Amino acid sequence: MVQHTYLGNLPDERQDDWTGECQGVTHDGNHWFITQKGAVWRVPIGKDLKDHLQNGVDGVKRRTIPLAGYDHFGDPDYYRGTLYIPLEGKRRIFGFLTVPRVPRIAAFRSSDLQFLWSAPLSKQQKAGWCAIDSTGVLLSSNSRLTPRIRKGEGPLFRYRIHGTSLTFLDRVVLRDEQGTPVVLDSMQGGTFADDHHLYISCGYYENPHPSWGIHLFDTRTQRRIVRSTNGTGSFNYEFHPGGSTDEEPEGLTYWDLDGRNAPGIQGQLHAILLDNDANGDDVYFKHYRVQGL
């Protein structure tokens, strides 16, 4: 049985240059990679995330989107020295209408955030996140995870990373504990804990859906193992969409930080919650100890 223990937030209700429209997080062996809508930050593990992050200071580096017509980074993942970030954008037609561009994956060298290449996610209309297993298989989805394929919906899409390109493999339908196909609304993030356990986060800041929160799936059976709660229990991912709070689930990553030099942070699962404030967005970075995987 997999158990999650909520360890608290760090930073807690933090507002800084990197928190505005914060989208996701991943890591290599010694750095956080944090995306916001228009940029990605590379932050050393020893940097206190409560401190001000400034490009070029204390090993912090910031990189903006390098592709014209694309303006939205999603939840990223790291694989063998390369950072992979999903991209969304729009294009104009008839001079005044805008329509979505085909989403892409942008690849950056993790050591210095040098842009390397990009490739289309040709089967998708949206791409807010990606997750990569140890064999180089990349997963992503449209904004809504459903068993049937409709515009902006559908199962998981799986691609193989080949050099500077992606090859579509297949689609995967995820199911609940009883084997019924799940519907997950407003997909935001994904990360592998190992090759068989996939975390997915979903949610938005308005019009709540019962699926919102964090889900853990066993990819061998395609079934959910456990999901987070909202306000109670040990796997507590508390958020309050709508009204005066407008809190929005975002991306997440799995990194064993017990005994590491990450100031104030322990545990294995780390998940971002964005507070969409009119006077500047705040981030709650939630941390969990995971046992039983």
pLDDT at 167: 97
Closest CA to 229 of 1, 4, 22: 4
- Domain of 11 in residue numbering reads as 3-291
pLDDT at 93: 77
pLDDT at 92: 79
**What value does the mean pLDDT of the chain take?**
96
- What would the pLDDT profile of 95-124 be if each residue is shown by its tens digit? 777 888 999 999 999 999 999 999 999 999
User: Residue 155: which pLDDT band, with cuts at 50, 70 and 90?
Assistant: very high
What is the number of structural domains in the chain?
Answer: 1
Closest CA to 105 of 117, 118, 91: 118
Quote the percentage of the chain above a pLDDT of 90. 92
- What would the pLDDT profile of 240-274 be if each residue is shown by its tens digit? 998 888 999 999 999 999 999 999 999 999 999 99
Q: Is the pLDDT of residue 75 over 90?
A: yes
pLDDT at 5: 98
Q: What is the pTM of this model?
A: 0.97
Instruction: Please provide residue 121's backbone torsions phi and psi, each rounded to the nearest 5 degrees.
Output: -95, 80
CATH at residue 185: 2.115.10
The sign of the CA dihedral 142, 144, 147, 149 is negative
Segment 1-14 mean pLDDT: 96
- What would the pLDDT profile of 180-217 be if each residue is shown by its tens digit? 999 999 999 999 999 999 999 999 999 999 999 999 99
**Side-chain-facing half-sphere of 18: CA atoms under 13 Å:** 26
Core vs surface per residue 155-171: b (16+ CB within 10 A) or e: bbbbbebeeeebeeeee
